[in-house]
Chains A and B, each alone.
Chain A
Amino acid sequence: MTGSLAATLRTAWRNPSGRTGAFLMIGLLTLAVVGPWLLPDPTAIPDLGAGATPPSTGHLFGTDHLNRDLLARVATGARISLTIGALSVALSLTVGTLIGLWAGSAGGWLDSGLMRLVDAALAIPRLFVLLLLLVVWDHVPLPALIAVIGLTGWFGTSRMVRGEAIRLRTAGYIQAAVALGAAPKRTIFRHLLPNVFGVILVSATLGIGEVILLEAGLSFLGVGLQPPTPSWGIMVLDSRNYFSTAPWTLLFPGAMILVTVLAVNLMSDALRAAFDPRSA
């Protein structure tokens, strides 16, 4: 599997949609990394009286209602969104894999108890879980937000990994290895990762898109990050009262969310097709 991983990635790269997604993502990453250095301070208010000004050579994306440079805000927003997306998904996958492995290799009441809990957690929409956790929390720091989002996203992964672990535990070659004296958990773990790698990679890319949308949504609802942090969701919320006179203040931040999530989803789609050609 590891040998064919490079081949799978090549197949995904040959997929035009996947390549489009990858190019978009490279552009977004560049904007997120380099943008905040080159662009004006996203919180600076050069001329409050001027208000929102349309896109011009000085401000490529125009300025918002407080005359702040929109491109600079959008670039900082990209940095925030991508950071939250990448880190919280990494957290979800780690926790999900460990718990799934634990449940699957332990079996018995521990396994069924954990899975009942996972069933219950999956029944509550993630947005509501986050709302309940965050709504009474004034000024959530970014690391805490990442942790909270990451810790509410591992349920699906754990169930999948558990299924694979159970399949492996009963597989003949694992039982043979254990009979010959190999440590059961280590053996399962070693065989598990190559087996679930594809699915995990696909769900990780999908998960990043989901998390970016979720963070934007929370900010839009006034939960999580707070102004003047230039989160894309906050920017859409800010534009709410101005979008008929200054439509660019609505268009750009939302379009950034759309493009970013689309980019990861296109990549995820190409990966899925490469791992499972029959579904393409």
Chain B
Amino acid sequence: MTPLLAVEKLKISFPKGAGLSVPVDGVSFAIDRGERVALVGESGSGKSLTSLALLRLVPEPGQIAAESTILLDGVDIMGLKGESLRAIRGGRIGLVFQDPMTSLNPVLTVGYQVKEAVTAHRKLSAKEAKERTVALLDEVGIPDPVARYGAYPHELSGGLRQRVMIAIALAGEPDLLVADEPTTALDVTVQAQILELLDGLRTKRNMALLLITHDLGVVAERTDRVMVMYAGQLVETAPTAALFAAPGHPYTQALLRSMPRLTGPVGRLPQIPGAVPQPYAWPAGCRFNPRCGLRIEACTSQVPPWRAAGPNHEAKCWVVEGRAP
């Protein structure tokens, strides 16, 4: 069976002086219908650009390489343009942005912005469109949706605005919802509610969910599978439980160590030494090698292969302990 989404060799480059900057460099993954997948990485790892590439919205002057393919139900959206591309954006793939403060147009009412997302993908009468919009606002848990229809973004709280953004992403009844750090800009108390809402909506509408985050804590309870991204490439992919139980890649291990825990001794969290390298000067060999405590000779010169670390669990590392499947 073909997966809902299959990304192959996704490579995004920007001109940088005389050379190139390649923030996403050869990313391949697939998502099945109804699956909940997390894409985890530090800022600068290329995960947000990856999500924008799914809608062909890489900002100028960035370019997706010609060899990249993005298959949605077997159709390569790299070949689409005009109306058929528009039908994907919001229609097949809905996108929830990181910051609801800046992603809503300040001079248009929130009702209007949801309604235009509804009518962008199907012909409806004015009355039907408004009813549908109010229903959506209600579905994402906005109290008193009829009154809020005419509100401007600045009149709503951050949490409510993010609910509006989710309503917009749902308006085209997408098969895949991509949420890019949907709670980073919000208060801690609101974060859980928004994640709860996304989870509930996904189940109800049987959508696939691609949750992009830098926070492994968010991932643990709400996803089936995790992909770890580092320096423009995927370095590990595993079922969520397996990843937390036995992380394969030294980077993933370091990420987990730097996560605060409720149990265990209180003390300073270990940090990963060094910084994410720059996309115009990726290290040779394994890109994590300058920061890696387990580095061996091969890491500095040769690109590591994908190695099995368990059932459906692979890591791109020379030193990962291969467990028999």
Direct contact of A and B (CB under 8 A): no
Instruction: Tell me the A residues contacting B by CB distance below 8 Å.
Output: none
Interface residues of chain B, those whose CB is within 8 Å of chain A, are none
